[in-house]
Chain A
Amino acid sequence: MNGLRTYFLETGQLSLFAFRYFKEVFKMPFETKELLRQCFLIGNKSLFLVIVTGFIMGLVLTLQTRPTMMDFGAEAYMPSMVGIAIIREIGPVITALICAGKIGSSIGAELGSMKVTEQIDAMEVSGTNPFKYLVVTRISAATLMLPVLVIFADAIALLGSFLVENVKGHVSFQLYFGVLFEHLEFSDLNPSVIKSFFFGFVIGLVGCYKGYNSKKGTSGVGLAANSAVVMASMLVFIVDFIAVLISDIFYNL
């Protein structure tokens, strides 16, 4: 019973936190410099990890799928099958999970330690709105940067997939991507990019919520980072499920 109460309390507080974000995001003055700095930190610092993961994802998916497709004599469909799987689902979700770990934990820990060392209080007593400077910029940056990272991850994963096809099946670059783009439609790309914005939003939101409300003490910082990753990862799957349901209504998947 207590667990259920905590669950609803947390959901309510997170919703209020999100509501406050929407209330503050359009209010002047805008912290543009800090927003750009956060975009750089979130985008640039996650790029290498996303590229490596995307490349391995493409390689592995193609290597694992190829024998089965060959059994059915359907290796000609490899580019379209792997491409659609990566772009529709695997690319966005894996990238979001990696970012939940990297971005969610770093935001949670940073804001948590600022809270513990009274830096957030110091901003507040100087007549500055710390929510606007710290929270609005980070959530907005995560929302804007995640689709960019997803597009990078998709492109690199497709390149990895092509390399396997090229080595194992002697498929040329033109042929691989020709087949891929023949089967790929905007209905595959649009929902995937749109849901990436929501993935970025929940990762930024949860990281900021956990850090901003972390309890006093150094153990609170670790707890904020850890719970930010767990909660953001779970929310990524929930958002993905909702996104697939909505995409099905609009694009008849």
Chain B
Amino acid sequence: MNAADNDQKILIEIQNVHKTFGTNAVLNGFNLKLYENENLVIVGKSGSGKSVLLKCIIRLLTPDSGNVLVLGKNIPELKQNELDKIRTQVGFLFQGSALYDSMTVRENLEFPLRRHPEKLIGHDVDTLVKESLQSVGLEHTIDLLPEELSGGMKRRVALARTLILRPKIILYDEPTSGLDPITAKEIIQLILDIQKKYDTASLIITHDMDTARVISNRMIILIEGRDYATGTYEKLSKSEDPKIKAFFK
């Protein structure tokens, strides 16, 4: 699928975003569009500003300039209560899973749900928790603490916690980093299954080209803080530009 060619709804649009830390310009006029049901992968070297970009989308960081439109709202300009509403529609999978370590798996999943009772209409908390855990194949871990889970299981539980609010978009920060190749493949397959089941759009940042190849409908290569090249994996892998070729070696 080439979403850009279709007349699909834009869920996230980033326009000319700049972000500087001290004298280090991490994002330097970055642009992107994420379409409905699309898996958009952003690849870049470590420290190239991929995580900063994701944090700007959800306003964990505020860009110095430029627009970040999520579901039609400009994120840097939103009031806190408007931002919280948008955040319930955008899931975020952290690189280190970020499970609340003083809570069990059940409590981790209940936490966002109990604070957004509007998401409960027609369902009870227990059913939604079990359903989300089923989606990631970890119903048996419901009463375990995060310290009792392996790295791959933590990533799955974190994904279940993200899913429980039924987001329209999921942002993945290096979803396979630190995992062994087999578990990484399982996580990739899970991301694809979840996208089909829940009709979500995914924005995935990674430096792993295997992940990008399997998962992406479209890719953006982030170099020097800009969207250096955009296209499908096949198209970009045939590029003669040495900067792009370096990613496919």
Binding site for B on A (CB under 8 A): 29, 110, 114, 117-119, 121-129
Contacts and interface: CB of A to CB of B under 8 A. Distances in A.
Contacts of B58: 125
Contact of A127 (B60, B87, B100, B101): B87
Contact of B101 (A29, A117, A129): A117
Given A121-B60, A127-B88, 19 more contacts: A29-B115, A114-B100, A114-B101, A117-B96, A118-B95, A118-B96, A119-B98, A119-B99, A121-B98, A122-B92, A122-B94, A122-B99, A123-B111, A125-B58, A125-B60, A125-B92, A126-B88, A126-B161, A127-B115
20 contacts: A114-B100, A117-B98, A117-B101, A118-B95, A118-B96, A119-B99, A121-B60, A123-B100, A124-B60, A124-B87, A125-B58, A125-B87, A125-B90, A126-B112, A126-B161, A127-B84, A127-B87, A127-B88, A128-B84, A128-B115
Task: Please tell me the size bucket of the interface on B.
Answer: 20 to 34
A28 to B, nearest CB: 12
B243 interface: no
Contacts of B116: 127
A39 to B, nearest CB: 16
A117 B147 CA distance: 13
A44 to B, nearest CB: 16
Contacts of A121: 60, 94, 98
Interface of B: 58, 60, 84-85, 87-88, 90, 92, 94-96, 98-102, 111-112, 115-116, 161, 165
Contacts of B88: 126-127
Given A118-B96, A122-B92, A122-B94, A128 B111 contact: yes
Contacts, number: 52
Contacts of A128: 84, 111-112, 115
A175 B88 CA distance: 66
Nearest to A33: B114
A122 B98 contact: yes
B59 to A, nearest CB: 9
Contacts of B85: 127
A118 B154 CA distance: 14
Contacts of A29: 115
B248 to A, nearest CB: 31
A48 B140 CA distance: 37
Would you list the 5 A-B pairs with minimal beta carbon distance, nearest first?
A122-B98, A126-B112, A127-B84, A127-B87, A118-B98
Contact of B165 (A119, A123, A124, A126): A126
Contacts of A122: 92, 94, 98-100
Nearest to A31: B115
A29 to B, nearest CB: 8
Nearest to A126: B112
A127 B111 CA distance: 11
A130 to B, nearest CB: 10
Name, among A117, A121, A127, the residue most crowded by chain B CB atoms within 10 Å (CB to CB).
A127
B230 to A, nearest CB: 26
Name, among A29, A110, A119, A128, the residue most crowded by chain B CB atoms within 10 Å (CB to CB).
A119
A114 B165 CA distance: 22
Nearest to A118: B98
Nearest to B54: A125
Nearest to B113: A126
A124 B62 CA distance: 14
